[in-house]
């Protein structure tokens, strides 16, 4: 296991280098002049040229590319062209709101999604299964921005139960987390159902039932662990998507997280912030995949890594 972890951690470096190069090229292909945006609409050409030199955008592209890699190798992501603050400080302030929102969304989505999936598998082709899968399809099909605005209209505007924007209390997490986690709960329900249906047809499950083991113990003791490996894989992927895919929800609810920061950075062509956020999202996916691989061995001790 230790050798596996060391190899995977060393494998982070070439992956991040490739991602960094692609991000740099992609960002510089975006239309618009960041120097013009930073200088303001009233600035003359001389002022724009000074701003461009200050941002290092007057240098040839290969030199900018090398400088970018040298800075990130030293942990320096540069200064935001929009706020004139260090990018690390900008992201540091926005990371925890996004992480907390993601964790809350993931917890309820996994609990409800797995519960619906297990119930649907145990009572498959009956009314609990049809109801659960109908809810799952609805959760996947309904766009997040429309669902969020619907929740705001009902629970904030009409009923006045919950705040529209974050106020620092637990109540402000309810609507954004439900909006963000709805699709994840739906995916978890469908994936859990498929995994449990496959396990329920195994010989050892039929043997346990033939011995008179109660159905709830058959599900918990014999099915749960064996069905969890593909579910954990999907859980890890969905957590990564939540961290990197909360942009729409954060914009709808004006949530002060990384998604909202990325939208503002793209609008202002804030290259350093865009590059740093995309690199961070990529690193999150890599780390999450590593954690999922380790969880495999915890769930099923017969799995060994070389």
Q: Is residue 301 part of a domain?
A: no
Q: Structure pTM?
A: 0.76
Q: Note whether 66 and 105 are same-domain residues.
A: no
How large a percentage of the chain has pLDDT more than 90? 0
Q: What is the pLDDT at residue 301? A: 59
User: 106 and 247 in one domain?
Assistant: yes
What is d(CA 27, CA 61) in angstroms, rounded to the nearest whole number? 12
b/e code 38-47 from CB counts within 10 Å (16+ = b): bbeeebeeee
- Are residues 17 and 114 both part of a single domain? no
Q: Are residues 226 and 107 in the same domain?
A: yes
Buried b (16+ CB within 10 A) or exposed e, 62-82: eebbeebeeebeeeebbbbbb
For helices 271-299 and 2-10, angle between their N-to-C axes, nearest 10 degrees: 160
Please count the other Cβ atoms lying within 10 Å of the Cβ belonging to residue 239.
22
What range defines the domain where residue 228 resides?
95-256
Which tens digit of pLDDT belongs to each residue from 5-59?
677 677 777 877 787 788 777 777 766 667 776 666 677 777 777 877 777 777 7
Q: Are 262 and 273 in contact (CB under 8 A)?
A: yes
- State yes or no: pLDDT of 95 exceeds 60: yes
Q: Which of 87-91, 239-243, 280-284 has the lowest mean pLDDT?
A: 239-243
What are the tokens at 102? 């993601």
**pLDDT tens-digit series, residues 169-215:** 778 888 888 888 888 888 888 888 888 887 777 777 777 777 777 76
102 and 163 together in one domain:
yes
How confident is the model at residue 21, as a pLDDT?
80
What mean pLDDT comes out for the span 159-177? 78
CA distance 273 to 89: 10
| CA-closest candidate to residue 275, choices 99, 110, 28 | 28
> Mean pLDDT, to the nearest integer, of 278-292?
79
56, 107: one domain: no
- Same domain for 160 and 229, yes or no, is yes
222 and 162 housed in the same domain? yes
Task: Name the percent of the chain lying above pLDDT 70.
Answer: 88
**Structure confidence by residue, pLDDT tens digits, 70-93:** 887 777 787 787 777 888 888 888
DSSP structure class, residue 33: -
């Amino acid at each position: 296991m230790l050798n596996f972890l060391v190899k995977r951690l060393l494998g982070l470096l070439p992956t991040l280098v490739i991602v960094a190069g692609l991000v740099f090229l992609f960002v510089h292909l975006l239309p618009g002049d960041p120097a013009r945006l930073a200088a303001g609409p009233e600035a003359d050409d001389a002022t724009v040229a000074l701003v461009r030199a200050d941002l290092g955008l007057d240098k040839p592209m290969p030199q900018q590319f090398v400088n970018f890699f040298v800075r990130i190798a030293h942990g320096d992501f540069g200064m935001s062209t929009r706020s004139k603050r260090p990018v690390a400080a900008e992201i540091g302030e926005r990371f925890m709101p996004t992480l907390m929102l993601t964790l809350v969304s993931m917890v309820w989505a996994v609990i409800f999604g797995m519960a619906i999936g297990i119930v649907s598998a145990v009572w498959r082709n009956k009314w609990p299964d049809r109801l659960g899968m109908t809810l799952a399809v609805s959760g996947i099909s309904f766009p997040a921005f429309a669902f969020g605005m619907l929740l705001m209209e009902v629970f904030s505007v009409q009923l006045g139960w919950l705040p529209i924007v974050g106020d620092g209390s637990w109540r402000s997490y309810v609507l954004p987390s439900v909006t963000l986690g709805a699709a994840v709960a739906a995916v978890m329900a469908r994936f859990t159902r498929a995994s449990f249906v496959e396990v329920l047809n195994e010989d050892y499950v039929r043997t346990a039932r033939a011995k008179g083991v109660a159905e709830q113990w058959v599900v918990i003791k014999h099915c749960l662990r064996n069905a969890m490996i593909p579910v954990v894989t999907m859980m890890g992927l969905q957590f990564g998507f939540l961290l990197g895919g909360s942009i729409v929800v954060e914009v709808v609810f004006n949530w002060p997280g990384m998604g909202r920061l990325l939208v503002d950075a793209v609008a202002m062509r804030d290259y350093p912030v865009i590059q740093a956020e995309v690199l961070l999202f990529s690193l999150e996916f890599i780390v999450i995949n590593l954690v999922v691989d380790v969880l495999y061995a915890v769930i099923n001790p017969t799995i060994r890594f070389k």
